[in-house]
């Protein structure tokens, strides 16, 4: 496991870095942020480009910063003292990696490791807290972010306790479906993680995961193409995952 070591550390305002700008902050805090808030966040943010395998968040070090992924993939889980990594859930940028630990003090509950090359953004807690006092709208957005994360973790726990392996995998695929369909109307999910890491997140074995892929393919719900899965029947996949359609 590589320690967190920067290939490059630059101000977030650097126009050459795709992470910078209002589009990124809108993706992680919601649209409609004022230019003034965006500029303040850009000035606070430290941006690092880090290689796959880097330890991004350590459960053995005090948390003093809010952490985000601007680009790339990471996994949250545990790094035991004897090495290795046990992933429990994945994060694909742009997204929050750890928005909570810095607020409660102490050590983060989980380690985070880069699955691919990533762009990591960190915001110092004390400075963000000062910004929240100046901009109540930023405080509201951060509270909403934390509430969404709590809800997501609650649903994940519910799935592990009440859904079978097929339902959990269907829900996992749905969470990773892109917002827009391809030219043929299908949605394609890239499998950026190793099969054993995906299986670990779903509390199943890699062999069971392979069986589920074959099972859903035979049912006509998906088509497996190398390191990607094409969703062919979104409605049936939603039904399998126990997702209720909006009225």
CATH of the domain at 217: 1.10.10.10
Residues 98 and 194 in one domain: no
DSSP SS3 for 147: helix
Backbone angles phi, psi at 114, to 5 degrees: -75, 125
Last residue of a domain, one of 160, 184, 201: 160
Long-range contact list for 128-137, CB < 8 A, 24+ apart? 128/44, 128/66, 131/37, 131/40, 131/41, 131/44, 135/34, 135/36, 135/37, 135/40, 137/33, 137/34, 137/37
Q: 131, 160, 189: which is the final residue of a domain? A: 160
For 30, list phi and psi in degrees, rounded to 5: 95, 155
Three-state secondary-structure class, residue 202: coil
Task: Give the global pTM.
Answer: 0.66
Are both 226 and 172 inside the same structural domain? yes
CA distance 189 to 92: 12
Residue bearing tokens 């750890």 = 98
Does residue 156 lie in a domain region? yes
Both 215 and 112 in one domain: the answer is: no
CA–CA distance, 69 with 149 (Å, rounded to integer)? 15
Q: Name the residue range of residue 181's domain.
A: 164-241
Per-residue pLDDT 10s for the chain (247 aa) are 444 333 344 444 443 344 457 889 999 999 999 999 999 999 999 999 999 999 999 998 999 999 999 999 888 888 777 767 777 778 888 999 999 999 988 899 889 999 889 999 999 999 999 999 999 999 999 999 988 878 777 766 666 676 788 888 888 888 788 766 666 667 888 887 778 778 877 888 888 999 999 999 999 999 998 888 999 888 899 888 876 554 4
* 55/136 same-domain check: yes
* C-alpha angle 238-242-243 in degrees, rounded to nearest 5: 55
- Based on the fold, state whether residues 18 and 136 are members of the same structural domain: yes
Q: Is 132 in the same domain as 180?
A: no
The total number of structural domains in the chain stands at: 2
- Is 88 found in the same domain as 41? yes
Tell me the C-alpha distance between 104 and 99, whole Å.
Answer: 10
Q: Which ranges of the chain would DSSP assign to H, the alpha helix?
A: 22-29, 35-44, 101-104, 125-134, 136-162, 165-175, 195-201, 206-218, 234-241
My answer on whether 155 and 170 are in the same domain is: no
Same domain, 152 and 66: yes
Q: For residue 95, what is the domain's CATH number?
A: 2.60.120.10
* Cα distance between residue 231 and residue 72, in whole Å: 22
Residues 49 and 125 in one domain: yes
**Last-in-domain residue among 129, 160, 191:** 160
User: 247 lies in a domain?
Assistant: no
Residues 45 and 121 in one domain: yes
Q: What pLDDT score does 177 carry?
A: 81
């Amino acid at each position: 496991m590589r320690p967190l070591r920067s290939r490059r550390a630059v101000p977030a305002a650097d126009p050459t870095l795709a992470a910078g700008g209002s589009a990124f902050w809108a993706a992680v805090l919601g649209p409609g942020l004022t230019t003034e808030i965006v500029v303040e966040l850009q000035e606070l943010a430290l941006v690092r480009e880090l290689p796959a395998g880097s330890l991004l968040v350590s459960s053995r070090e005090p948390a003093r910063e809010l952490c985000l992924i601007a680009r790339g993939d990471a996994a949250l889980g545990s790094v035991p003292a004897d090495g290795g990594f046990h992933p429990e859930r994945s994060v694909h940028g742009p997204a929050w990696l750890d928005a909570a630990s810095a607020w409660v003090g102490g050590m983060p509950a989980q380690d985070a490791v880069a699955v691919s090359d990533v762009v990591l953004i960190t915001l110092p807690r004390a400075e963000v807290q000062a910004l929240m006092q100046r901009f109540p709208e930023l405080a509201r957005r951060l509270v909403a972010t934390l509430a969404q994360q709590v809800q997501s973790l609650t649903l994940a726990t519910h799935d592990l306790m009440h859904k079978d392996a097929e339902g959990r995998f269907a829900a996992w695929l749905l969470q990773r479906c892109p917002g827009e369909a391809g030219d043929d109307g299908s949605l394609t999910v890239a499998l950026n993680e190793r099969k054993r890491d995906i299986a670990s997140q779903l509390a199943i074995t890699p062999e069971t995961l392979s069986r589920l892929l074959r099972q859903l393919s035979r049912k006509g719900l998906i088509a497996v193409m190398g390191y990607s899965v094409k969703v062919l029947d979104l409605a049936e996949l939603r039904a399998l995952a126990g997702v209720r359609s909006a009225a």
